[in-house]
Structure 1
Amino acid sequence: MTPTPANLDPACNNLALRKAARYLGATYDKALAPVGLRATQFSILQKLSTHGETTITSLADMIAMDRTTMATNLKPLAREGLITVEPSAADRRARIVTITPEGLVRMKAALPLWQAVQDRFEESFGADAAAQLRTSLKAVLDTGFEPWAE
């Protein structure tokens, strides 16, 4: 059967994923607002807190984001003094991102807010279903597409 605009919604993986991502993303954004972070910013700070300094490209890969979008997302964090972005001593073309002490404090302040949403989602959706969802979504990243390849 050839798809028509009227029958795409139930079968469109992209739309289903984006709807759920917007819904859940807005929920995390709302929860993190009291500490002045959005969910993406929290994820960036969390990755930097566990991985230490890294290049913009590596950080983008960790979060499954293209490098240009990552660089854009880093600007407000740098303006607020939560991260630094400096040229690499080893390769002047690369930029190294590091969480600052202020960034670590902000990320730690956000952690209980994040945990509360995480717990609420797992309670509502089911812990096993949430774990399976994360497994399935991780598998999406291994489907062979190269969305940011040049």
Structure 2
Amino acid sequence: MTPAPTNLADTCNNLALRKAARYLSATYDKALAPAGLRMTQFSILQHLGAHGEMTITALADMIAMDRTTLATNLKPLAREGLVAVEPSAADRRARIVTITPDGLSRMKAALPLWKAVQAQFEEGFGVDKAAQLRACLESVLHAGFQPWAE
């Protein structure tokens, strides 16, 4: 029988991923700060700008986030008038999220900041390695888990 590793940090996939995610999140957050956005907020605005209005559930699925966490992240965006969250006319239980003109403007102002930090990462990490990393991480989302299943 093989003994258990003494330091699980050396073999834990989740820890390695979270460390890298915190590192990159802090880097992107710092880059986007002049636009008054954090990376999660920018991502939400970018998805809404690209795809139009959608339910909280659809947006949560698109960005791989549970609905409760997404709703929490939408509150400051709504307070700042960057998104509108309204009950659906078709289903009063569903909430529809829409990017506002101010939200679109803020996202567009942040885009050059995002492009700069994206280019900086790819220059330091490698363009091909970055593309491989994104593809590998996307495949993690299809590993068969259902973290938000009810």
TM-score range, shorter chain: over 0.9
Q: Which secondary structure does the structure 1 equivalent of 2:72 belong to?
A: helix
Which residue in the other structure is 2:25 paired with? 25
| Cα displacement (A) at 1:9 | 1.3
> For 1:9-68, what per-residue CA distance to the aligned partner results, in whole angstroms no more than 9, with x for missing partners?
111000000000000000000000011100000000000000000000000001100000
- Specify the code of the residue in structure 1 equivalent to 2:125: F
Q: Which secondary structure does the structure 1 equivalent of 2:28 belong to?
A: helix
Which residue in the other structure is 2:62 paired with? 62
- Specify the code of the residue in structure 2 equivalent to 1:8: L
- Specify the code of the residue in structure 2 equivalent to 1:22: R
> For 1:80-122, what per-residue CA distance to the aligned partner results, in whole angstroms no more than 9, with x for missing partners?
0000000000000000000000000000000000000000000
Q: Which secondary structure does the structure 2 equivalent of 1:111 belong to?
A: helix
Whole-angstrom distance in 2 between the partners of 1:23 and 1:147:
23
Whole-angstrom distance in 2 between the partners of 1:142 and 1:86:
31
Which residue in the other structure is 2:131 paired with? 131
| Cα displacement (A) at 1:7 | 2.2
Q: Which secondary structure does the structure 2 equivalent of 1:142 belong to?
A: coil
Q: TM-score, normalised by structure 1?
A: 0.98
Whole-angstrom distance in 1 between the partners of 2:73 and 2:57:
13
Moved over 4 A (4+): none
Which residue in the other structure is 1:120 paired with? 120
Structure 2 residue 36 is matched with structure 1 residue 40: no
Whole-angstrom distance in 1 between the partners of 2:34 and 2:21:
21
Residue segments in structure 2 that go unaligned for 5+ positions in a row: none
Number of equivalent positions: 149
Structure 2 residue 13 is matched with structure 1 residue 3: no
Residue segments in structure 1 that go unaligned for 5+ positions in a row: none
Evaluate the alpha carbon distance shift between residue 57 and residue 2 of structure 1 in structure 2; reply closer, same or farther with a 3 A threshold.
Answer: farther
Q: Percent identity?
A: 77
Which residue in the other structure is 2:88 paired with? 88
- Specify the code of the residue in structure 2 equivalent to 1:38: R
Which residue in the other structure is 1:77 paired with? 77
| Cα displacement (A) at 1:125 | 0.2
